[in-house]
Structure 1
Amino acid sequence: MKAKLFDYVDRDNFMFNLSGLTKLVCFICMTCSVMFSYDVRYILFVMALSVVIFKVSGLQFKQIKLMTIYVVIFLLINFLLTYLFSPGYGTELYGTAHEIFRFTARYTVTWEQLLYQVTKITKYASVVPLGMIFLLTTNPSEFAASLNRVGVSYKGAYALSLTLRYFPDMIRDYQNIALAQQSRGLDLSRREKVRVRVKNSMNICIPLIFSTLDRIELISNAMDLRGFGKHKKRTWYGARPVRRGDWMALAFGTLILAGSLYLTFFVNGSRFWNPFI
């Protein structure tokens, strides 16, 4: 089966066999450990762990290739804009200034500013793989059950589950409509001008919007007929019990978070690692 963006494909390995609640708690713990700390050494350690977890889960890079491209573009833009609007924030943060070179009197490149921006970039780059691993290894129904078990309203949890389920369907519908329009002579290749390609793309988007509205109405009617929302609580068919492997994973996630807190309060004395003092 060809894997697509946000398309859940069940596999039999350690990551897929974990409970959705376990993966949610571990994702929150590892994300908080990265977001709370500004120690680039620990953030790189968590990033390396996320790569290892990705390999263990058996996922394929092509499943996250498109998202990776968007994230890289976002990180580059963020890096440039941070320096453009706050070129001296690193020196204010660390209290020293070790100049590398300068463009103008305002735009001076220092090791402090470079460390701050690299740390900031690695924080984002560490969290995104963790989120992708969580989404691609968790059944949407089980994900909704996990959210409900940690206190989220089951209506909101179910709405998010439907959203995740709809992404692969929407991509599949787009591809089918695009193939149907191309068989009728619609040219979407690079041989056409950009203006013409944008105009031709509208011939795909409009049918996609109407098919989406039809799907929404169909699902809404089905949920109403089954009495969805009548009671304050509900049971979940997709929920999994917590087993031995789940307890091991929970202990691992808690240890990662505890390591970040220990490094912050007892080793560095603050959220920031300052090698310039």
Structure 2
Amino acid sequence: MAANTVLNYLPRKSVIHRLTGTTKLAFFLLFTFASMITYNTWVLLGLLAVSIAAFRLSKIKIREVRFMMIFMLVFLLLNNLFIFLFDPNQGTHLYGTHHVLCHLFWRYDLTAEQLFYMVNISLKYFVALPVAILFISATDPSEFAASLNSIGISYKVGYSVSIALRYIPDIQRDYHSISQAQQARGVELGKNERFFSRLKNSVNILLPLILTSLNRIDTISNAMELRGFGKNKKRTWYTQRPFARRDFLTLALGVLLLLFSLTVTIKCGRFYNPFC
């Protein structure tokens, strides 16, 4: 059975996958800016609905991107924890009111304002996460490189990004294969083994993995040199497709979402205060 990989392209027959790389890159940037400039709860909820709808249209299943979601949830919990530890009154300062729900210890009071502020922080992550996962999982690396080149970035940079995105799943598969070989030789990496023993055995896998990676990089470098890569200032792309109607509609949606978020933020303020 093939190893489960993360940060890899998942081909599907969906409207999201049929969009050009340039469209997906532009929409990702527009949508990210729209979610970054505001903490207004209603705007974030609207963006969240769009984000979930886009994820459903992509036909990518949650179990296929479970690792990325779990990683983001852990990061989100740690982020909220440190926000509260370093400044438990941040929400009070922002909203201008103070409603204590319960006293915890020392200077730490759990206030409704701080809780609401951290909920909005979490909303921003939940808004951006599905679109970020889609951008990675629904964009072919070569198509992504072509999209970078189409907005003026050097094709050498785009090609480097493409190789990196293709290389990450290969490294994961190599690690899985070496791990299986080591376990067949009696090296225990299962959950029954103690944590530090598993960590030590996992580190022992890194040496053959690094050697395999260096050999692959050398092979790729020689192949590119033989093909005269970098000789010309420009290059063509097999994966660069012409814009279709769906691309223009997607870009229009991204611009409208950004303008909506910006308008509400200017008119109503960056923060929505339910405690007034």
Which TM-score tier does this pair reach, normalised by the shorter chain? over 0.9
Partner of 1:12: 13
TM-score by length of 2: 0.94
Deviation at 1:192, TM superposition (A): 2.3
User: Take 1:132 and 1:31, find their aligned partners in 2: how far apart are those partners?
Assistant: 12
| 1:138 aligned onto 2:139 | yes
Partner of 1:92: 93
Cα contact 1:6–1:63 (8 A) shared by 2: no
Deviation at 1:33, TM superposition (A): 0.6
User: Take 1:198 and 1:264, find their aligned partners in 2: how far apart are those partners?
Assistant: 48
| 1:46 aligned onto 2:53 | no
Summarize deviations over 1:114-145 as a string: whole Å, max 9, x none. 12111112112221211101111111101011
Aligned length: 275
Distance 1:74 1:9, change over 3 A: closer
User: Take 1:230 and 1:92, find their aligned partners in 2: how far apart are those partners?
Assistant: 57
User: Take 1:189 and 1:11, find their aligned partners in 2: how far apart are those partners?
Assistant: 33
Summarize deviations over 1:66-87 as a string: whole Å, max 9, x none. 1111111111111111011011
Q: Tell me the SS of whatever aligns to 2:101.
A: strand
**1:190-209 alignment, distance < 5 Å:** 190-209=191-210
Give the aligned residue type for 1:188.
L
User: Take 1:151 and 1:96, find their aligned partners in 2: how far apart are those partners?
Assistant: 48
Cα contact 2:100–2:112 (8 A) shared by 1: yes
**1:220-231 alignment, distance < 5 Å:** 220-231=221-232
Deviation at 1:191, TM superposition (A): 2.7
Runs of 4 or more above 3 Å deviation: 1-4
Give the aligned residue type for 1:23.
K
Structure 1, unpaired ranges of 5+: none
Give the aligned residue type for 1:190.
K
Deviation at 1:248, TM superposition (A): 1.1
| 1:61 aligned onto 2:72 | no
Q: Tell me the SS of whatever aligns to 2:235.
A: coil
User: Take 1:44 and 1:122, find their aligned partners in 2: how far apart are those partners?
Assistant: 8
Summarize deviations over 1:168-223 as a string: whole Å, max 9, x none. 11111111111111222222122322232222212322111111111111111111
Give the aligned residue type for 1:271.
R
Partner of 2:111: 110
Cα contact 2:5–2:173 (8 A) shared by 1: no
User: Take 1:158 and 1:175, find their aligned partners in 2: how far apart are those partners?
Assistant: 26
User: Take 2:10 and 2:120, find their aligned partners in 1: how far apart are those partners?
Assistant: 34
TM-score by length of 1: 0.94
Q: Tell me the SS of whatever aligns to 1:64.
A: helix
- Aligned identity (percent) is 45
Summarize deviations over 1:231-253 as a string: whole Å, max 9, x none. 22222111111111111111111
Cα contact 1:14–1:57 (8 A) shared by 2: yes
User: Take 2:275 and 2:196, find their aligned partners in 1: how far apart are those partners?
Assistant: 53
User: Take 1:126 and 1:73, find their aligned partners in 2: how far apart are those partners?
Assistant: 16
Select between 178-187 and 82-91 the one with higher mean Cα deviation.
Answer: 178-187
Partner of 1:24: 25
